[in-house]
């Protein structure tokens, strides 16, 4: 397993697909520095928030990424595995083959095409795009699988607030610190910034950045298959017990014994 050093540049993008409002979050760590910004969907404004002349070892995008030529109606294994059982009311993904999920899938592909020239050639076993190191992040599940049962015992949470509640739980319980230590990423200023961030889109972008770090170090738990793509999650050593059990049950229930690494 690699550790994060200054020569490993990482980029995380929370896609957003509003054409009028700044709903894209971008977080990066490059050349010993880091940053996070909120911007729009077009490349001209997005690129203004990236460090100049940087190639990224891994880029993680919060949006469904599927192999080229996949039909819109493709039902994804990774979404099925993370939408059943205990995941359903905690951190499930939406379906990407219709409605808003389909719009997000198209926006994620547009984003991948915008930044693919900034991504390194892959050293990844499960790469949707064979020529670039771009992976799919899903911040809700990334956070959710690291939180114990008690984090979900507070009753109904207003729509759109669940991610921020989980983010704050992870920050307050030291999960970000534990994760970065596990990855060998010694970046106390970045850690502090992540823990104190209050903006929703920037928070999501920071989780994408942590997803990219897991991929870059070869220490991610990867859920999915080659036909419909993969979601990259924290190393299983950091998963809460309920999440490990839930995934095992879903793998067995769908007859997909080899659906995850």
Q: Residue 53 above 60 pLDDT?
A: yes
* pLDDT top residue among 5 and 203: 203
Tokens of 34: 């880091």
Q: What is the pLDDT of residue 260?
A: 46
Does residue 56 fall inside a structural domain?
yes
Does residue 5 fall inside a structural domain?
no
Residue 124 structural domain = 10-253
Q: How confident is the model at residue 222 (pLDDT cuts 50, 70, 90)?
A: very high
Comparing C-alpha atoms, which of 97, 59, 100, 60 is closest to residue 78? Answer: 97
Does residue 259 fall inside a structural domain?
no
Each residue of 122-163: pLDDT tens digit?
778 787 998 999 999 999 999 999 999 988 886 666 566 889
Helix 162-172 and helix 188-196: axis angle, to 10°?
Answer: 140
Does residue 184 fall inside a structural domain?
yes
Does residue 3 fall inside a structural domain?
no
Q: What is the pLDDT of residue 103?
A: 92
Does residue 110 fall inside a structural domain?
yes
d(CA 180, CA 3): 10
Q: What is the mean pLDDT of the chain?
A: 91
Tell me if 48 sits within 8 A of 2, measured CB to CB.
no
End-to-end Cα separation, the chain, in angstroms = 15
Counting Cα atoms < 13 Å in the Cβ hemisphere of 110 gives 17
Does residue 150 fall inside a structural domain?
yes
What integer is the mean pLDDT of 67-71? 92
What integer is the mean pLDDT of 115-119? 94
Q: Residue 32 above 70 pLDDT?
A: yes
Does residue 69 fall inside a structural domain?
yes
Lowest mean pLDDT among 5-9, 110-114, 177-181: 5-9
Q: Residue 204 above 60 pLDDT?
A: yes
Q: Within a 10 A sphere around the Cβ of 198, how many other Cβ atoms?
A: 9
- Burial (CB < 10 A; 0-12, 13-18, 19+), residue 117, is exposed
Which among 7-21, 46-60, 203-217, 247-261 has the top mean pLDDT?
203-217
Domain count, the chain: 1
């Amino acid at each position: 397993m690699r550790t994060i050093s200054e020569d490993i540049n990482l980029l995380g993008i929370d896609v957003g697909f509003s054409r009028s409002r700044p709903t894209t979050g971008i977080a990066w760590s490059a050349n010993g520095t880091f940053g996070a910004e909120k911007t729009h969907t077009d490349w001209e404004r997005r690129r203004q928030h990236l460090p100049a002349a940087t190639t990224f070892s891994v880029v993680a995008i919060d949006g469904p990424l599927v192999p080229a030529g996949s039909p819109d109606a493709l039902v994804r294994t990774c979404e099925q595995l993370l939408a059943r059982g205990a995941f359903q009311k905690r951190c499930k993904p939406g379906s990407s083959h219709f409605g808003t999920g389909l719009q997000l899938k198209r926006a994620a592909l547009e984003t991948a095409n915008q930044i693919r020239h900034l991504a390194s050639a892959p050293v990844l076993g499960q790469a949707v795009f064979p020529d670039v190191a771009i992976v799919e992040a899903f911040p809700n599940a990334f956070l959710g699988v690291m939180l114990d049962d008690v984090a979900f015992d507070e009753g109904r949470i207003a729509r759109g607030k669940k991610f921020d509640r989980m983010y704050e739980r992870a920050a307050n319980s030291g999960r970000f610190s534990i994760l970065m230590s596990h990855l060998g990423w010694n970046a106390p200023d970045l850690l502090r910034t992540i823990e104190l961030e209050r903006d929703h889109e920037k928070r999501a972008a920071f989780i994408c950045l942590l997803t990219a770090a897991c991929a870059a170090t070869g220490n991610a738990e990867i859920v999915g298959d080659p036909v419909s793509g993969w979601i990259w999650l924290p190393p299983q050593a950091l998963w809460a017990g309920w999440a490990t059990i839930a995934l095992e049950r879903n793998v067995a229930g769908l007859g997909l014994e080899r659906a995850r690494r």
